[in-house]
Amino acid sequence: MLRQRLNMIVAAVGLMLVIASCSGCYKIDGVVETFGYEGRDLYLIEYLPSRITKFDSCKVNHGKFQMRGVIDSTRLVFLCKGDRPIIPIYMEKGRTKVTIMPTEMTASGTRQNDLFYSFLQKKIAIDNRFEDLSQRRSSMSRSGFDSRKMELVQDSLRMIVDECEEMICSFMDQNYNEPAAVGVFMMLSAGPSTEISPLLRRILDSAPKEFLDKSYIKYYTGRVNYARID
């Protein structure tokens, strides 16, 4: 009886250790449906202002790839083919499904990836509407146009810009405490400019201190000499 109890305790402790060891496990399952990936090496690389870190790698085999590992915190990395970034992915606890197609690249299945790519899909939809209307405006300019119709198109373009800005600010307001918000800000602030846009200033002016203390945000605010006046 004593031996049985000891065995049960050992088994229970062993199970707890297994659970604890997997508490930071990430799993990435990918499907590739586009040319140029078969047999190629893919990498998960983190790009920070101070360093570049390669976390994992695998080879595409029959249009599929897998990565597994343990992490101590959620990280925003890029899935890269060689040294070329393909799409951003959040390395986090759970199983992430990555799809690479000629017309779409997505990562889903975990909280931060779902948040980030849900935002991205909304922004792409708005951007496409803006692009379609811009092309219509260009076509009107080339073929001769009614000034009133052109004013209506211009008004519609301004409304789309305002809609996009409100969508972005609403997302940030709701998710400042999520790592996905930093990824969105990184995307919006990409580029060498040292001038801060009105949209980014609005985001930073509304952000809690915890968001401003994130390493990339501190790097960006230092680069553009941003200082909030409370």
CATH number for 27-107 (one of 1.10.287, 3.30.160, 2.60.40, 2.60.120): it is 2.60.40
Q: What is the pLDDT along the chain (230 residues), one digit of tens a residue?
A: 434 433 433 333 333 333 333 458 999 999 999 999 999 999 999 988 788 999 999 999 999 999 999 988 899 999 999 889 999 999 999 999 999 999 999 999 999 999 999 999 999 999 999 999 888 887 777 776 677 777 888 889 999 999 999 999 999 999 999 999 999 999 999 888 889 999 999 999 999 999 999 989 999 999 999 988 76
- HEC string of 68-92 equals EEECCCCEEEEEEECCEEEEEEEEC
Helices assigned H by DSSP within the chain: 2-21, 111-143, 147-175, 179-188, 198-206, 209-212, 215-223
pTM: 0.82
Give the three-state DSSP class for 31.
strand
Is the distance from CB of 224 to CB of 203 less than 8 angstroms?
A: no
Q: Where are the domains of the chain?
A: 27-107, 113-223
Rg (CA), the chain: 23
